[in-house]
Amino acid sequence: MGKIVPLSGNSAVAYAVKSADVDVISAYPITPQTTIVEKLAEFIANGELDAEMIHVESEHSALSAAVGASAAGARVYTASSSQGIVLMYEIMFIASSLRLPIVMTIAARALSAPINIWNDHSDFMAVSDTGWVMMMAENNQEAHDDVILAYRIAEDPEVLLPVATALDGYFMTHTIEPIDLIEREDALSFAPKRKTWFTLDPDKPVTIGALGDPQWYFEFKRQQYEAMKKSREVFEKSVDEFAKVFGRRYGAVEYFGDENPEVVLVAMGHVVGNIKAYLSRVRGKDSRAGVLKIKLYRPFPEDLIVKYLEGVKIVGVVDRALVPGSASPGPLHSEIVATLRKHGVDAKTLSFVSGLGGRPVTHEHIGVMFSKLSELKDKPASELPKEPLFIGVRE
C-alpha cells in the first residue's frame, strides 16, 4: 500500500500522470477537466515532473500537438470534456489510425446545446467509433489507477492504440476520496516507458501518415481492427498483473448482487456505486437482483457480458446519453442488445435513460427501474416497451 491522501478525482488523475513520468502534456482548459492540467502545470513548475507543457489555442490543436509528440516517441498525455472532445474528433481518428499510444482523460460532461457543464456520458459515447480503447471508472481510486493501466495497454507492441480513460464530471472530478497513490517507481516498473513504435527521427527518416490509396488503406484498417481485438487480451493480462502488484483488481465487467439473479441493471460510471448501495441498503440482499458494471467499453467485452446475463429473465440498461433517431436511442443499450442477440441469449431488455445533463440518478430512480423490471420479468418480449423509459424527467 502506498501513501493514502484525500484527493478530488481530477487531482487523483494528475498524480497518476505525474507517476507515469510523461514527457509531453498538451491540453486546453474546459470544465470540468481543467484542474487536471492545472495540477500538472503546478507539478512542472515545482520541479516534480520533468515534462513539456504545450500551450495551444484549442482542443483540436491540443490533440494535434499530442499526435506530433507521440510520433516523435514521447510519452504523451491530454485531457478534455464535452465540446472540447468533439472539437478533437477529427484528430482522434488520426491518432488511432497512426497507431499512436496517446493517453487521454475524459472528464465526462454533457454536450451542448443548451450549454450544460454538468455530467452525463454524451461526450464519452460520441468517441466510441474513433478506434480508441475506452475505459470508464466507478470511483476516484479507479480513475487514478486507470491512467497507469492505460499506458501499459497503449504502449504494448501488440496494441499501439490510444486509450481514453473517463470519470464522471463533478460527481467524481470535484469530489474528494481517499486515494492510495501509486508512486513513480512502482508506476514505471508496472508500465515502463518503451518506444515500441516507429518514430520521427531526422537521422532515420520515415514517412508517417502518408496517402493510403485503395491499394493499401483496407489493409491498414484491418490491422487496426485486429489491434483493438488484441487490446482485450492485453487488458486482461494488465489487470491481472496490476492486482498482483497493487492489490486492486478491475474487470472488464464486474457483477454485484444475487448469485442467481432474475433482473439485472447494466450501467457505467459512478452510478454503479449508487445501484450497489441501493441493493445493499434499500432492497436487501435476499432480492434476486444485481448490477453489471461495464468498465471496458472498447473493445466491448461480449463474452463476459454473455456470461453474466445468460439465464437472467430481464436486463435493464441505464444510459446517461441519448442518440435521437437511433433504433435504440441509448448507446449502451444498443451494445447490450447486439451482444445478446449475436450470442443467442434470449434475455429480454429494457432501455432506461436517466441522469442527462447532470441530474442525479437517485435511489428513488433506481427503485423505479428495479420495480419496472420486476413487473415485466415474466411478460413476453412482445409486451415490453419498445421505446426507452425516461427516468427522472418532467413530463
Entry pTM: 0.97
C-alpha span between 246 and 44 (Å, rounded): 26
**So what's the pLDDT on residue 1?**
60
At 196, the pLDDT band (50, 70, 90 cuts) reads confident
b/e code 25-55 from CB counts within 10 Å (16+ = b): bbbbbbbbbbbbbebbbebbeeeebebeebe
Based on the fold, state whether residues 213 and 270 are members of the same structural domain: no
Average pLDDT, integer, range 208-215 = 90
* Boundary (domain end) residue, out of 223, 246, 269: 246
Contact 23, 75 (CB under 8 A): yes
Contact 142, 224 (CB under 8 A): no
Based on the fold, state whether residues 303 and 334 are members of the same structural domain: yes
Average pLDDT, integer, range 66-81 = 96
Average pLDDT, integer, range 339-367 = 97
Based on the fold, state whether residues 56 and 87 are members of the same structural domain: yes
The per-residue pLDDT for range 101-151, each reduced to its tens digit, is 999 999 999 999 999 999 999 999 999 999 999 999 999 999 999 999 999
Query: Where is 92: in which H helix or E strand?
Result: helix 89-97
Average pLDDT, integer, range 2-15 = 96
**So what's the pLDDT on residue 195?**
78
Q: Which of 330, 335, 326 is nearest to 301 (CA)?
A: 335
Based on the fold, state whether residues 303 and 340 are members of the same structural domain: yes
At 285, the pLDDT band (50, 70, 90 cuts) reads low
Strands 389-391 and 348-354: parallel
Based on the fold, state whether residues 224 and 320 are members of the same structural domain: no
Based on the fold, state whether residues 168 and 304 are members of the same structural domain: no
Strands 4-8 and 176-180: antiparallel
Based on the fold, state whether residues 240 and 261 are members of the same structural domain: no
| Number of separate domains in the chain | 2
Q: Residue 259's CB: how many other CB atoms inside 10 A?
A: 7
**So what's the pLDDT on residue 181?**
98
Tell me how far CA of residue 131 lies from CA of 13, 226, 342, in angstroms: 23, 11, 21
Question: Is 64 in a helix, a strand, or coil?
Answer: helix
Tell me how far CA of residue 328 lies from CA of 21, 109, 345, in angstroms: 42, 21, 18
* Boundary (domain end) residue, out of 226, 246, 266: 246
The whole-chain average pLDDT of the chain stands at 96
Range of the domain at 107: 4-246
Domain CATH for 184:
3.40.50.970
Based on the fold, state whether residues 183 and 109 are members of the same structural domain: yes
Residues paired with 26 in a beta bridge: 54
The per-residue pLDDT for range 224-272, each reduced to its tens digit, is 999 999 999 999 999 999 999 999 999 999 999 999 999 999 999 999 9
Based on the fold, state whether residues 54 and 153 are members of the same structural domain: yes
Based on the fold, state whether residues 220 and 360 are members of the same structural domain: no
Q: How many CA atoms lie within 13 A of 186 on its CB side?
A: 17
Q: Which of 160, 165, 162, 124 is nearest to 144 (CA)?
A: 165
* Boundary (domain end) residue, out of 188, 220, 246: 246
Phi/psi for 91 (5° steps) reads: -80, -25
Domain CATH for 276:
3.40.50.920
**So what's the pLDDT on residue 339?**
98
**So what's the pLDDT on residue 199?**
86
Q: What is the DSSP letter of 182?
A: P
Q: What is the DSSP letter of 310?
A: T
Based on the fold, state whether residues 350 and 239 are members of the same structural domain: no
Based on the fold, state whether residues 175 and 208 are members of the same structural domain: yes
Tell me how far CA of residue 377 lies from CA of 144, 181, 289, in angstroms: 38, 44, 11
**So what's the pLDDT on residue 150?**
98
At 194, the pLDDT band (50, 70, 90 cuts) reads confident
Kindly write down the DSSP assignment for every residue of 221-282, as one continuous string.
HHHHHHHHHHHHHHHHHHHHHHHHHHS----SEEEEE-SS-SEEEEE-TTHHHHHHHIIIII
What cell numbers appear for 386 in the block?
A: 419498445
C-alpha span between 76 and 63 (Å, rounded): 10
